[in-house]
Amino acid sequence: MTVRVGVIGAGMIGQDHTRRLTEVVTGAAVTAVTDIDTLRAAEVAARVGATALPTGADLIASPDVDAVLVTSWGPTHAEHVLNAIAAGKPVFCEKPLATTAEDCLRIVEAERAQGRRLVQVGFMRRFDAGYRQMKEVLSTGSLGAPLIVHCAHRNPTVPESYHSAMAAQDTAVHEIDVLRWLLDDEIVSAQVVTPRATSKRFPHLKDPQIMIFETSEGVRIDLEVFVNCQYGYDIQCEVVGEDGLVRLPDPAAVGVRTAARHGTNVLQDWKDRFAEAFDTEFREWVASVAAGTEPTGPSSWDGYAATVITDAAVRSLESGGELVTTDMKPRPAFYGGTA
């Protein structure tokens, strides 16, 4: 069976995922595209032999669409995801699931009312081979209980439109999701402090930021978010346990020795760093839709949790570094919890 996907939002990542679904993943085809920029929708649709449709609602209702991909701007996600759930169609939503915790909860409730999981959220790091190897090591218990996690998320530069809250909402949100999954633990508080700012930033931006999270088991996570680090896109993660540690591998790269120096190149773009993770993410999502089974990737509950935790981090930043406890509802049994 070919899974016929409709794409809502044909911008940067919508086009990349359209290419992925068309050229990389087998068993999928993009059959419909919509964008508020109708010219862009028509151009992307023509590229892959799909139909350009006027609105997200038209696309979700189309009999040529089995499953929906939401890659429009964050504030529009909730409406499209809720419409897809109401139509009973599987929906892959790029992060964030929604920009407010209230909207995330509306999605959670709508999905529960449908009685089966339809939503997957685009936190692709869970599909990265390095993080998966770390999870395997942690799950053996050979390192003892995890105690501390050290992380860094560095981008070479960001555009002027990037503002200080985005360090949590757009950037750290990936660590927030992957660490909840890696540790199988919930984040219960956030604190954000700012060291001396780099002179390479825009004046409105607090960069870098140091985020400290605590989990319900008492694990402390420190995360450096530095989005104008200049030298490259660099993701670091090390989990320290009672009996040892496990570290995320750097991407494979040849070592060059010349002129009395030995080194490897550092990637410059998150799209290259996580290209294979994105491919795996879509292979597994398409396979679940084709099989008619529930998606195994991040759920709408994970989307809700990520938004609650990023909200806490933003509140801490705005308060000048106060410790903010997260205000999260108990996880329903539907999503593997006890409530």
Which residues are at the interface with ligand NAD (CB under 6 A)? 8-14, 34-37, 40, 56, 71-74, 76, 94-95, 122, 124
Q: Which residue is nearest to ligand ISE (CB)?
A: 270
Smallest separation (angstroms) from ligand NAD to the CB of 9: 3
Instruction: Provide the total of helices (H) and of strands (E) in the chain, helices listed first.
Output: 11, 15
Instruction: Choose from ligand NAD, ligand ISE, none: what does 73 bind? Cβ within 5-8 Å by kind.
Output: ligand NAD
Q: Which is nearer to ligand ISE, 34 or 155 (CB)?
A: 155
Smallest separation (angstroms) from ligand ISE to the CB of 186: 22
How distant, in Å, are the alpha carbons of 267, 278, 295 from that of 129? 17, 11, 19
Distance separating alpha carbons of residues 53 and 33, to the nearest angstrom: 6
Cβ count near 200 (within 10 Å): 11
- Please report whether residue 174 would count as binding ligand ISE according to CB under 6 A: yes
Q: Out of 155, 280, 288, 307, which residue is the one contacting ligand ISE (CB under 6 A)?
A: 155
Stretch that binds ligand ISE, among 29-37, 98-106, 170-178, 247-255 (CB under 6 A): 170-178
Q: Measuring CA to CA, which residue among 4, 83, 92 is closest to residue 49?
A: 4
How distant, in Å, are the alpha carbons of 29, 93, 108, 216 from that of 151? 37, 26, 30, 19
Q: Which is nearer to ligand NAD, 11 or 130 (CB)?
A: 11
Smallest separation (angstroms) from ligand ISE to the CB of 108: 22
Which residues, in sequence order, are bridge partners of residue 193? 210
Smallest separation (angstroms) from ligand NAD to the CB of 99: 9
Please state whether beta strands 234-241 and 244-247 pair in parallel, antiparallel, or not at all (unpaired): antiparallel
Smallest separation (angstroms) from ligand NAD to the CB of 121: 9
Instruction: Choose from ligand ISE, ligand NAD, none: what does 12 bind? Cβ within 5-8 Å by kind.
Output: ligand NAD
- Please report whether residue 270 would count as binding ligand ISE according to CB under 6 A: yes
Contact 300, 119 (CB under 8 A): yes
Q: Which is nearer to ligand ISE, 160 or 242 (CB)?
A: 160
Distance separating alpha carbons of residues 322 and 339, to the nearest angstrom: 30
Distance linking the first and last C-alpha atoms of the chain: 37
Distance separating alpha carbons of residues 287 and 45, to the nearest angstrom: 23
- Please report whether residue 77 would count as binding ligand ISE according to CB under 6 A: no
- Please report whether residue 126 would count as binding ligand ISE according to CB under 6 A: no
> 320 φ, ψ to 5°?
85, 20
Please state whether beta strands 91-93 and 28-34 pair in parallel, antiparallel, or not at all (unpaired): unpaired
Instruction: Choose from ligand NAD, ligand ISE, none: what does 171 bind? Cβ within 5-8 Å by kind.
Output: ligand ISE
Q: Which is nearer to ligand ISE, 171 or 299 (CB)?
A: 171
Instruction: Choose from ligand NAD, ligand ISE, none: what does 22 bind? Cβ within 5-8 Å by kind.
Output: none
Q: Which is nearer to ligand NAD, 16 or 185 (CB)?
A: 16
- Please report whether residue 177 would count as binding ligand ISE according to CB under 6 A: no
- What's 19-58 look like in SS3? HHHHHHCCCEEEEEEECCCHHHHHHHHHHHCCEECCCHHH
- Please report whether residue 72 would count as binding ligand ISE according to CB under 6 A: no
- Please report whether residue 170 would count as binding ligand ISE according to CB under 6 A: yes
**275-291 and 129-140 helices cross at what angle (nearest 10)?**
80
Smallest separation (angstroms) from ligand ISE to the CB of 246: 21
Q: Which is nearer to ligand NAD, 74 or 332 (CB)?
A: 74
Residue numbers of the site for ligand ISE (CB under 6 A)? 155, 170-171, 174, 270
